[in-house]
């Protein structure tokens, strides 16, 4: 039943992302044409950002569908990490495109072209309205997924971009200050870079199999070792398969005479209740008496 519920939830996410993608692609084509006519880098920056948004949404749809495939063959965890690859691509494209816009904006600050401010204002206002509708679709999806969150961040920074472009167009239109356009482009680039860095950091941690945020391996080890039947815990590994899917493996030595299977079940319940780790692989076996004597000697030395 849980798998069926997850499948239905993922299908709903795909439909919501699909609607947002259709809106973005339609308006992007219009904005490119108007940006060329108006000679506005701010509009073309928005259009470039929308192109990245469209790519992010398309990759997000692909990753969400791929993640629904059940484990099998060599893919023993299935394709759930496809969502993390999607988030990594989203972050990288935001970073690269932001730097490109910065370079172009600096050139236009030095030598500003003539910009048709009225056209920029009208297009930015229409773009913000379209972006709000697309953003409302993605906001209804499961944002615990780093894949969905990446798509959401793309659209959110695009909304900021339209706001900056609207202000720039208004300044050009009313005052004739042409440099407002590249300055708005720098604001757009800044919002893209601000969204890219945390997205790359979070997805990178998962790809490098670092411990999930909020889970301290030392604390986990101490909690396991504190069990009265546990003699030692080593080879402890805590990582994330995908966003919201933590996993743990460890070698646990139990005191001679205690029930290994009962201890394993108790430790699994502890990990799930205290740390939210439901996927665990615990290799449990009895400790040798020599190990217990060594640990007792070390404990006595510390007490002294």
User: HSE of 149 in the Cβ direction (CA atoms, 13 Å)?
Assistant: 20
Residues 201 and 238 grouped into a single domain: no
**DSSP-based three-state secondary structure for 180:** helix
Residues 179 and 81 grouped into a single domain: yes
Give tens-digit pLDDT for 107-118: 888 887 777 777
Residues 192 and 72 grouped into a single domain: yes
Question: Phi-psi region for residue 240, left (φ > 0), alpha (ψ -120 to 50) or beta?
Answer: beta
Q: Is the pLDDT of residue 298 over 70?
A: no
CATH assignment of the domain containing 232:
3.30.70.1350
CATH assignment of the domain containing 116:
1.20.1510.10
pTM of the predicted protein model: 0.69
Residues 171 and 237 grouped into a single domain: no
pLDDT confidence band for 135 (50 / 70 / 90): confident
Residues 26 and 131 grouped into a single domain: yes
Q: Which domain holds residue 279?
A: 217-303
Over its C-alpha atoms, the chain yields an Rg (Å, rounded) of 26
Residues 143 and 221 grouped into a single domain: no
Residues 167 and 59 grouped into a single domain: yes
Residues in the chain, overall count: 304
Structurally, the chain folds into a number of domains equal to 2
CA angle 88, 94, 98 (to 5 degrees): 150
For residue 212, is it within any domain? no
pLDDT reported for residue 6? 45
Residues 68 and 185 grouped into a single domain: yes
pLDDT reported for residue 299? 54
Q: Is the pLDDT of residue 173 over 70?
A: yes
Give tens-digit pLDDT for 15-49: 788 888 888 888 888 878 887 877 777 677 667 76
Per the prediction, the chain carries an average pLDDT of 80
Residues 30 and 102 grouped into a single domain: yes
Residues 295 and 231 grouped into a single domain: yes
Q: Is the pLDDT of residue 292 over 60?
A: no
pLDDT reported for residue 32? 82
Is the C-alpha dihedral spanning 67, 71, 74, 75 positive or negative? Answer: positive
3-state secondary structure 289-304: HHHHHHHHHHHHHHHC
pLDDT confidence band for 4 (50 / 70 / 90): very low
pLDDT reported for residue 8? 44
CB atoms under 10 Å from CB of 223, counted, come to: 17
Give tens-digit pLDDT for 179-236: 887 888 888 888 888 888 888 998 899 888 899 988 999 999 999 999 998 888 989 9
For residue 41, is it within any domain? yes
pLDDT reported for residue 138? 81
pLDDT reported for residue 95? 87
Whole-angstrom Cα distance, residue 113 to residue 176?
Answer: 11
Residue found under tokens 């997805």: 203
Residues 202 and 239 grouped into a single domain: no
pLDDT reported for residue 276? 92
pLDDT confidence band for 151 (50 / 70 / 90): confident
**DSSP-based three-state secondary structure for 80:** coil
Query: 51: Cβ–Cβ under 8 A, 6 or more apart, which residues?
Result: 28
Q: Which residue did the predictor score with more confidence, 5 or 104?
A: 104
CA dihedral 205, 208, 213, 217 (to 10 degrees): -160
Q: In 3D, which of 131, 143, 151, 157 has the Cα closest to residue 57? A: 151
Residues 179 and 230 grouped into a single domain: no
Q: In 3D, which of 263, 272, 277, 273 has the Cα closest to residue 226? A: 263
Which residue among 207, 229, 258 closes a domain? 207
pLDDT reported for residue 304? 52
Cα 233 versus chain centre, distance: 32
pLDDT reported for residue 218? 94
For residue 248, is it within any domain? yes
pLDDT reported for residue 63? 75
For residue 20, is it within any domain? yes
Give tens-digit pLDDT for 244-290: 789 999 999 998 888 889 999 999 999 999 999 989 999 998 877 66
């Amino acid at each position: 039943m849980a798998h069926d519920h997850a499948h239905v939830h993922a299908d709903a996410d795909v439909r919501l992302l699909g609607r947002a993608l259709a809106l973005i692609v339609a308006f992007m084509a219009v904005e490119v044409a108007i940006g060329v006519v108006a000679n506005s880098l701010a509009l073309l920056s928005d259009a470039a950002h929308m192109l990245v948004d469209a790519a992010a949404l398309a990759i997000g749809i692909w990753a969400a569908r791929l993640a629904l495939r059940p484990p099998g063959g060599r893919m023993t965890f299935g394709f759930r990490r496809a969502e993390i690859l999607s988030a990594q691509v989203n972050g990288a494209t935001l970073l690269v495109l932001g730097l490109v816009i910065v370079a172009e904006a600096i050139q236009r600050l030095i030598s500003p072209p003539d910009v048709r401010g009225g056209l920029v204002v009208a297009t930015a206002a229409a773009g913000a309205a379209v972006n709000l509708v697309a953003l409302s679709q993605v906001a209804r999806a499961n944002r615990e997924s780093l894949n969905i969150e990446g798509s959401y961040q793309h659209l959110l920074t695009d909304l900021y971009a339209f706001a900056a472009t609207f202000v720039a167009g208004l300044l050009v239109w009313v005052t004739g200050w042409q440099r407002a356009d590249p300055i708005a482009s720098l604001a757009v680039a800044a919002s893209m870079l601000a969204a890219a860095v945390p997205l790359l950091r979070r997805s990178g941690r998962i790809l490098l199999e670092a411990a999930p945020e909020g889970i301290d391996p030392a604390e986990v080890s101490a909690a396991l070792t504190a069990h009265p039947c546990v003699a030692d815990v080593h080879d402890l590994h805590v990582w994330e398969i995908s966003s919201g899917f933590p996993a743990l493996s460890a070698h646990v030595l139990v005191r001679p005479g205690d029930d290994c299977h009962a201890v394993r079940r108790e430790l699994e319940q502890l990990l799930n209740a205290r740390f939210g780790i439901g996927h665990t692989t615990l290799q449990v076996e009895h400790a040798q008496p020599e190990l217990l004597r060594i640990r007792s000697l070390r404990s006595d030395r510390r007490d002294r």
